[in-house]
Structure 1
Amino acid sequence: MTDTTRAHHMKAKYMLASSALQDPVWFVNTFAADSGEEALRKFWRLLGEDLPAEDRVEAEGLQVDRVRLGADGPKLLVLTLPAPRKRNEAYYLAAALLPGKLRFFCLESSVSATDGSAMTVLAELAPEGRYNWGPGSAAEIRDFVESLGALLSDADARPLSFVEMQLA
């Protein structure tokens, strides 16, 4: 896995995060609807049209899942992106629908600083920037959802780092 990210993947991750954070009602109504997967495919295609051909990524693997954490826990809207090939590209994006707010997470591909092996990182994108929650789960949707459930239920959880950036 190289350090150079693909523009299509990265642009999609940040534009979807920004859309969710700026207009959560639109985001949820668009992607949680029965036509949500079709809307995601259209979004992906339109985003790619503005990129040079060599920067485009095929829409293979795009998927939308609606999940509830436990019997009465928060709802998650999970978007599966095409499989990452580069560092910082996301496997999954998740909008966590909490009382009065939406939190936006991603499971990103990464590389271990100690031995260069492939790993994942759990990140949260917020209006003020990116929170790094540390090593992520296996790149399976079930494991990602379980890790979000653990994070969201831990009132004492603190991110490992924060990078300021304007997302909303």
Structure 2
Amino acid sequence: MTDPRPHHYRFAHRELARQVLEFGPRVATPTPDGGSLLPVVTQIWDDLGRALPPEDRLPAHGLDCRHLSVDGHHMLLVTLPTPAGATEAHFVAAVHPQGGRTVRYLTLEHALDPFDGTPGTVLGEWTPDNHLNHGPGPSPTAELFVAAVVRLVAPKKRGPWRR
């Protein structure tokens, strides 16, 4: 496993996270005309690349995004170019949980098991203050990542003995 590539890492963990958390829930909410944010996301990728040394720049091949609504939660799901280094993300999701006031920014990061070296994933989250590790993530498919995100942001059900 190699170290994360600066372009890939900074895009998913710094620049896109900063912008999503700054713009808030409207990033996760589909536009009435069904427009795509892919041109905006690609522009962020390209602008970041222009600020890096030429040897650190990566093409945007594989970069994609789409809006989803799952169980009342609105999200922008971003697919990143295939990760090659530790902590590079397969996917990120800007999620506006149903009934929530803020957006959450979650990542599915490429990882290796420290004991046997098998590949895996880690479910992470960026807040305005820090990075949270939510533990092992699912296999790196969009459907499984979305399901893990929904489980994470859904209100926890209380036992029948509580109101």
TM-score, normalising length from structure 1? 0.83
Number of the residue aligned with 1:40: 41
Distance in 1 of aligned mates of 2:149 and 2:25: 21
Number of the residue aligned with 1:68: 69
Match runs of 1:64-103 below 5 Å: 64-70=65-71, 73-98=72-97, 99-103=100-104
- Conservation of the 8 A alpha-carbon contact between 1:19 and 1:27: no
What's the C-alpha RMSD, in Å, of the aligned pairs? 1.9
Instruction: For residue 23 of structure 1, give the secondary structure of its aligned residue in structure 2.
Output: helix
Distance in 2 of aligned mates of 1:26 and 1:74: 12
Match runs of 1:5-154 below 5 Å: 5-13=4-12, 14-24=14-24, 27-28=27-28, 34-70=35-71, 73-98=72-97, 99-153=100-154
Distance in 2 of aligned mates of 1:25 and 1:122: 20
Instruction: For residue 81 of structure 2, give the secondary structure of its aligned residue in structure 1.
Output: coil
1:117 partner letter: T
How far residue 27 of structure 1 moved from its aligned partner, in angstroms, is 4.0
1:16 partner letter: L
- Divergent runs of 4+, >2 A: 25-29, 153-156
Structure label with greater radius of gyration: 2
1:116 partner letter: G
Distance in 2 of aligned mates of 1:35 and 1:151: 25
Distance in 2 of aligned mates of 1:137 and 1:68: 20
CA separation of 1:28 and 1:150: change in aligned 2, threshold 3 A: closer
- Conservation of the 8 A alpha-carbon contact between 2:16 and 2:44: no
Q: Deviations over 1:139-165 (max 9, x none)?
A: 110110011111222528xxxxxxxxx
Q: Deviations over 1:47-72 (max 9, x none)?
A: 101111211111011111111112xx
Q: Deviations over 1:64-97 (max 9, x none)?
A: 1111112xx2111111111100000011110111
Count of aligned pairs between the two proteins: 152
How far residue 17 of structure 1 moved from its aligned partner, in angstroms, is 0.6
Q: Percent identity?
A: 31
TM-score, normalising length from structure 2? 0.85
Q: Which runs of 5+ in 2 are unaligned?
A: 158-163
- Conservation of the 8 A alpha-carbon contact between 2:25 and 2:103: no
